[in-house]
Chain A
Amino acid sequence: MSRVVLLLGDDVSTDLVYPGRFMATVLPSETPRHAFADHAAFNAKLVAGEVPPGSVVAAGGNFGCGSSREQAASCLKGYDLVIVARSFARIFLQNAINLGLKVVPCPGLEAKEGDDLAFEGGKVVNRTSGKSFTAEPMPKARQAILDAGGLIPYTRKKLMQMADRKDA
């Protein structure tokens, strides 16, 4: 069971998730402290360790629009948050998959802060309201990266296959 700890609207930009002024900080081990830095109350909860892993940030359409900064995905991954949104912007979605941040596109999502959600076989079930919503399945190409455990292991495997072919 995952509780909605933050509810956001449409077009949440990566500037809101990870403001540009912290972009000199790049390492996934260091970015989480600046997650939602301009949303000071939520940032304080995250940094204080008050948000359990698996907690949900729920949002409207086009979550993660704007900058390609990967920090916007790595900072959320640092807290093992789950992002459930009606839709995602392309680069953020890809970054999330590449880094293993759990993202669930759910076009009909209805949820409030404090609701408990469960993810059951292609559905998002809002246990608080009793309603359930269809989650969009990941395209096959993206699922392959998820299955490999992220883009780094996926690339490593491909690299070794290519090298083997060259050697043969």
Chain B
Amino acid sequence: MGLTIVEKILARATDLAEVHAGDVLEPRVDLAMSHENAALVINQFHEVYQGTGRTPRPWDPSRIAVIFDHRVPAESPKTATNQKKVREFVAEHGIARFHDVRGDTGGICHQILPECGYVRPGQVVVGTDSHTTTHGALGAFAFGIGATEMASVWALGVAVNVEVPKTIKVVVTGRFPHYVGPKDLILHLIGRLTAQGANFRVLEFHGETIQRMPTSGRLVLCNMAVEAGATSGIVPADGETIRYLREESGIRGPIIAVAPDADAAYERVVTIDVSRLEPQIACPHTVDNVKPVGDVEGIRVHQVVVGSCTNGRLDDLAEAASLIRGKKVAAGTRMLVFPASGRVWSDALARGYIGDFMAAGAVVMNAGCGPCLGVHEGALGDGETALSTTNRNFKGRMGNPKSEVYLCSPAVAAASAVTGVLTDPRKGAR
């Protein structure tokens, strides 16, 4: 029996000829990413060394990345002090892949890693963030871990006791209808699998639709794989991956794509034809409560949010801007736009999208995670409803358990901002 892509990556990371689902391994880590929670990682890292008589030193500072994004600029003295502590640690240990609070090189970790070329096909990537699954879009095995586990990685350079996950193959065919795209596909898939349907599994994406999809869309799919419980999502690297890494990430030198064997052992195969897919909406309070837009049209929306590690990239902003250009955000509705990185922000500015949003009455924020998880700006009032391109709608997710969050694509979000109610972007479209 052949190997899945993750089995191949883990075999390489352990110098084994082959590994299979269920094996327990200690793979070498190629990239270890943290955000503000590096403050806790540092604390745990120092604990590891206590009583050993050894000086705490990360195994390889060049393989550590720290990106401030969850609460930037700091919303409280506590955060500012945590960030200061991390800044000092990063300087002390020569961690060069550090992205501070900046308008040029700053941004959300799951956009910074791809756009800076920190992730390559075939790598093992761990991050103290559940959406680390995002980086599977570049053909890496990328998964979220806790802060103590990261401290262990910093000390040892390996992830201890990793059980090789089983893989579900997802085959996607057909062309997306107008105003339907990767976000609708992944919401539909999560609805089918349920929030725990892929627990301890990898989602490996295949099919003509995926082959045609730009990396920005693949990042959306892998980002939200975790919402079906998946350890990771992954797209086998191909010509598009190499194009992205050369042109957008500026990588030179060899890029080695890892492909699954044709006879790889999958737990099961899920097929989806997107040619008749409608815009999909995840309704409160679980991401798998997914309905076609027609079922929830007309619901009053108090706040529209466009951005995040899921849908804050340039093509997302382009689509939202195209639907709002020359129009106004409805009275009684607030629209917040937060691009995924400084680079995306400045590209969106150069292309006029930022101006489109502002002229329409949207508030364009700095790149960061803030509103998505209710930590920093964009809180909802009691009884209010948000429509958001982010990735979670759990009760209280946006900071108020007495509010509701619906998840959607940038097109649905922008069309709804204009009307003030949940709106199908295909209606009224040319």
Contact surface of A with B, Cβ cutoff 8 Å:
10-11, 13, 15-16, 19-21, 23-27, 38, 61-62, 65-70, 73, 87, 89-91, 94-95, 98-99, 139-142, 144-145, 150-152, 154-156, 158-160, 162-163
Contact, CB under 8 Å: A145 / B161: yes
> Do B196 and A62 touch across chains, with their CB atoms under 8 A apart?
yes
Cβ of B52 and Cβ of A160 under 8 Å apart? yes
Beta-carbon contacts under 8 Å, B31-71 to A:
36-37, 39-40, 43-44, 47-52, 54, 70-71
Task: Report the contact-size class of chain B (Cβ under 8 Å from the partner).
Answer: 35 or more
Q: Which of B258-308 contact A (CB under 8 A)?
A: 286, 288
With A68-B128, A68-B129, A87-B196 as contacts: A73 and B229 at CB distance below 8 Å: no
Can you name the residue of chain B whose Cβ is closest to the Cβ of A158?
Answer: B156
Q: Looking across the interface, which residue of chain A has its beta carbon closest to that of B401?
A: A38
Given the interface pairs A140-B24, A155-B151, A159-B52, the reply to whether A91 lies near B397 with Cβ below 8 Å is: no
For B160, list chain A residues within 8 Å (CB): 145, 151, 154-155, 158
B15 within 8 A of A: no
Q: How far is the CB of B190 from chain A (nearest CB, A)?
A: 12
Asked, given contacts A70-B147, A159-B155, whether A15 binds B397 with beta carbons under 8 Å apart, the answer is yes
CB pair B395 A15 closer than 8 Å? yes
* CB neighbors of A among B369-408 (8 A): 373-375, 392, 394-397, 399, 401
Measured CA separation A24–B231 after assembly (Å):
25
- The answer to whether B199 and A90 have CB atoms under 8 Å apart is yes
For residue B52, which residues in chain A have a CB less than 8 angstroms away from its CB? 156, 159-160
* Measured CA separation A73–B145 after assembly (Å): 13
Within 8 Å by CB of B161, from A23, A68, A73, A142, lies A142
CB-defined contacts of A156 to chain B, threshold 8 Å:
48-52
Can you list 27 residue pairs at the A/B interface with Cβ under 8 Å?
A10-B196, A15-B395, A19-B399, A23-B36, A23-B373, A24-B375, A25-B78, A26-B82, A26-B147, A62-B229, A65-B195, A67-B129, A68-B130, A73-B146, A89-B199, A90-B200, A91-B130, A98-B148, A150-B148, A151-B149, A152-B48, A152-B152, A154-B160, A155-B151, A155-B155, A159-B54, A162-B156
New contact pairs (12) apart from A19-B399, A23-B71, A156-B48, CB-CB < 8 Å: A23-B37, A26-B39, A62-B196, A70-B147, A95-B148, A98-B149, A99-B148, A140-B24, A141-B163, A151-B149, A152-B48, A155-B155
Complexed CA–CA distance, A90 and B399 (Å): 24
CB distance from B78 to the nearest CB of A (A): 4
A24 touches B79 (CB 8 A): yes
